[in-house]
Amino acid sequence: MVWGILAILYGAIVIVLAITKPAAIWKMKKIQFFESKLGVKGTEIFFYVWAALFLFLGVWLIAK
């Protein structure tokens, strides 16, 4: 139950970060690497898919 809630919170945080793109996080080397390989739009899509997977995982863990 706790892991499911944490997964949902993590997914929600990732969505907020993908929407707001705070400069402190978006300028990190890891994010810059993603942008160089995937492009800006690809990086955004990656974050949305990553968040959706964690939201799904959280719901599955809670329902299990």
Average pLDDT in the chain = 95
- Whole-number pLDDT of residue 23: 92
Task: Please report the pLDDT score of residue 37 as a whole number.
Answer: 94
Length reported for the chain: 64
- Check residue 24 and give its pLDDT: 93
C-alpha–C-alpha distance, residues 11 and 57, integer Å: 9
* Residue 64, pLDDT above cutoff 90: no
Angstrom distance (rounded) from CA 36 to CA 54: 24
3-state secondary structure of 7: helix
Q: Is 37 exposed, middle or buried (0-12, 13-18, 19+ CB in 10 A)?
A: exposed
Token output for 6: 């944490």
Tokens 């800006």 belong to which residue?
Answer: 40
**What is the tens place of the pLDDT at every residue in 3-19?**
999 999 999 999 999 99
Q: For 24-38, how does the pLDDT look when each residue is reduced to its tens digit (9 = 90+)? A: 999 999 999 999 999
Instruction: Give the start-to-end residue ranges of the domains of the chain.
Output: 2-63
